[in-house]
Amino acid sequence: MARRPKPSAREALPEDLVENIVDIDVTSEMEVSFLEYAYSVIYSRALPDARDGLKPVQRRILFMMSEMGLRPDRGHVKSARVVGEVMGKLHPHGDTAIYDAMVRMAQDFALRMPLIDGHGNFGSLDDGPAAPRYTEARLAAPALAMTNHLDEEVVDFIPNYDNQFMQPEVLPAAFPNLLVNGSSGIAVGMATNMAPHNLGEVIAAAQHLIANPDAQLDDIMAFVPGPDLPTGGKIVGLDGIRDAYATGRGSFKTRATVQVEQISARRTGLVVTELPYLVGPEKVIEKIKDAVTSKKLQGISDVVDLTDRHHGLRLIIELKNGFNPNAVLQQLYRYTPMEDSFGINNVTLVDGQPRTLGLVELLQVYVDHRIGVVRRRTTFRLGKKKDRLHLVEGLLIAILDIDEVIQIIRSSDETAQARERLMGVFDLTEIQANHILELRLRQLTKYSRIELEKEQEELRQAIAELEEILASEPKLRKLVSDELGEVAASYATPRRTVLLESEATAALAGAAPAPAGRKAPVQLEIADDPCWAILSASGQLARTADQQELMDGGQRIKHDVFTSVVRTSARAEIGAVTSLGRMLRLQVVDMPTLSPGSGTPNLAGGVPAREFITLAKGETLVALAPLNAVLALGTARGMVKRVSPDYPLNREDWEIITLKPQDHIIGVCAAREDEDLVFLTRHAQLLRFPASTVRPQGRTAGGVNGIKLGDEDSVLFFGAADPTDDAAVVVTIASASAALPGTSPGSAKVTALAEFPAKGRATAGLRAHRFLKGEDQLSLGWAGHGPAKASTSAGVVRTLPVEHGRRDGSGVPLSQPIDAVGPALG
């Protein structure tokens, strides 16, 4: 190993040496060096170009895929192959950065119009994509509009990083990609964040700007009212959007799209079908669970994610009973990403310099770029047409005497001599002579004079049109506008995002409007307001507001009239009495609410009673009843009982009467001491007697005799009526027992209850309806405060005619069958 020589004494400096020491300020040097680095990051990586809306890596991916022939009509190739080609030829950075950019251009939830057609797992809002060796890709159809005509010198080409390949400085971009797909990027000292927009709206605005170069922001916003996010949702408040369009900076709120649905008989849920931009369901679920655990959120019992690729997003947030859905939703907006803020910062490269642009400026930069592209393309095509015309004209000259042309070529010693002789004899240019010399002998037979003259005329016509476009700025701008319209016709889709002027318009349907000038407070839990609990003839349970006009008239489902109505409150408990003498406890808040909406509420919005209670075979729900009143029960065999409200507090169901074999309950009502109890039998016998004559009994008692029944007779109706009520009526509908359903409408009779005097309990009563020929029974009967409501077999609710007659009088023939009779709400 050689030894290092010992240091020798310093040699003497030359006498003519002049020392020049330069002092450099470290601060200035750092600033200059840092700015050079920052500019490199801004220009070469982070910010998009305002003309095509692409960052360098995105532009290189699309260009290389176009060069590889990965068109939409061809098969997919491995993503790793594309990444390798881009990295090896154009982009001197890691494969991860290239693949991430490629993945984003294929995600339909990230871009409003994806530019890459991905095959395989390209990720979701909550999960990343598979490795590039597992996925495949090709260009999407809109990407062709970005790369078309690159071979016609429409843009400048620049060398790649090692000067071996050429790449476009910018893509032709047949649509405003920067506005349509948006962009985001973080550079040194600046960042960009641009929202996606609707292609049809943006192109319409660009066409308006082309036709009206002096258009103002209000004119453009008539076409582009706001962003159109890929995932839909709602944008609440448009002031921030206008600020962003005017200055290039602003913000807006995005909200999930939510509907209130009855997810089970007793549970209401908030169903989320669209989330804010770039917010995934797993993130929302996690935030909801955290907020519920920390007790920031109340009223939520469960969250279920039913999202799949076939039906899209469906997130069900199940609510606890008694909580206002609108109030819970407001909490979700506050504590979870179901409401998110998007900040617009339109920083983009214009002529290589970062600038913050408003909407009009962004469109103007694009329009100028597109006009330049079309002008260069037209110039290129004009040159090609002129070159071809020049060759065709030479062929026409030569074909007139093709034998002499062949003789000149055969007699020449070399190509140069043949070229000179052809140019001298036929007055051809060097280009024309070379073209003739390069033709094979067999090709000369193809060129007939007629065909060449036809091509010559077509070329001259095309040249004239191209020159006319280049000579007229209005025609050039019209051509650009027409091509934009063709792109919109091919790729435009309807708007997905709903724009709301203010937060007041974003409330759930059915919520009370806020008073003018202030925001209405929303109670989290449902208030204990008065309401009606309703049981319909078709077995639907529901509750509605304490407003009589809501329930008068209107169309309902078949057979649907009210058979039992109880005045209560939203957070109270009521009882449900079955035909076998059982009473079940029901929570009123569990019942679905019927909202007035547009017109009369439809009881089809109720929930079947079987969803609330479990009934034995042959058991039916007879009526609803309050738990704090003395109830009167009537059975099919004529028994009557008044029950004291001494019900167990620790049970959900119990017996309130001991029935005899083959007997069942017909009617239940809350009867005061001053009211009369009314029995109505199938043989049209009516008996009314004071309720005070029946003393209240305990739950296990079997009751006493109420009405004396004839042979084969049974009770059809039992209820209570106020003897002082002048509007109290008796409704009887007669029919033939042997007739098929719907074939014999029968007859109806409405009689004032006052025409039937009170009799003693356990007597037979009076005749209420005289049967016509063919009639032998009552099919329906009802007594109470009028006017009564009836439902036809077609489901049409109607008020019965009030025609008083004798106690033994017959009814009025019906035009169509009546299937149900019940009280009006009042």
What pLDDT score was predicted for residue 587? 85
Q: How far is CA 267 from CA 302, 318, 319, 650, in A?
A: 11, 7, 7, 23
Query: Over the stretch 174-199, which tens digit does the pLDDT of each residue have?
Result: 999 999 999 998 877 788 999 999 99
Q: Does residue 510 register a pLDDT over 50?
A: no
Domain with CATH 2.120.10.90 in the chain: 530-822
Q: Does residue 375 register a pLDDT over 90?
A: yes
Least confident window among 242-256, 511-525, 751-765: 511-525
Query: Over the stretch 290-310, which tens digit does the pLDDT of each residue have?
Result: 999 998 888 899 999 998 878
CB 179 within 8 A of CB 228: no
Domain with CATH 1.10.268.10 in the chain: 376-491
Query: Which of 341-345, 435-439, 744-748, 801-805 is modeled with the greatest confidence?
Result: 341-345
Residue environment code for 234-261, b if the CB has 16+ CB neighbours within 10 A, otherwise e: bbbbbebbbbbbeebbbbbbbbbbbebe
pTM assigned to the model: 0.74
What pLDDT score was predicted for residue 446? 64
Query: Over the stretch 443-491, which tens digit does the pLDDT of each residue have?
Result: 666 667 888 889 999 999 999 999 999 999 999 999 999 999 999 999 9
Annotated catalytic residue, options 37, 39, 134, 447: 134
Query: Over the stretch 38-75, which tens digit does the pLDDT of each residue have?
Result: 666 666 678 899 999 999 999 999 999 999 999 999 99
What pLDDT score was predicted for residue 774? 82
Q: Are strands 540-545 and 530-536 parallel, antiparallel or unpaired?
A: antiparallel
What pLDDT score was predicted for residue 599? 42
Q: The domain 376-491: what is its CATH number?
A: 1.10.268.10
DSSP string, 549-594: GGGSS-B-STT--EEEEEEEETT-EEEEEETTSEEEEEEGGGSPEE
Indicate the class that CATH gives domain 54-172.
alpha beta
99 is a catalytic site residue: no
CB atoms within 10 A of CB 712: 8
Q: How far is CA 158 from CA 38, 147, 151, 164, 167, in A?
A: 21, 16, 14, 11, 5
* pLDDT: which is higher, 507 or 821: 821
**How much is the mean pLDDT over the chain?**
86
Query: Over the stretch 336-352, which tens digit does the pLDDT of each residue have?
Result: 999 999 999 999 999 98
Domain 530-822 homologous superfamily, CATH: DNA gyrase/topoisomerase IV, subunit A, C-terminal (2.120.10.90)
Query: Which of 231-240, 375-384, 647-656 is modeled with the greatest confidence?
Result: 375-384
Query: Over the stretch 11-31, which tens digit does the pLDDT of each residue have?
Result: 677 777 787 888 888 888 787
Q: Does domain 257-337 have CATH number 3.30.1360.40?
A: yes
Domain with CATH 3.30.1360.40 in the chain: 257-337
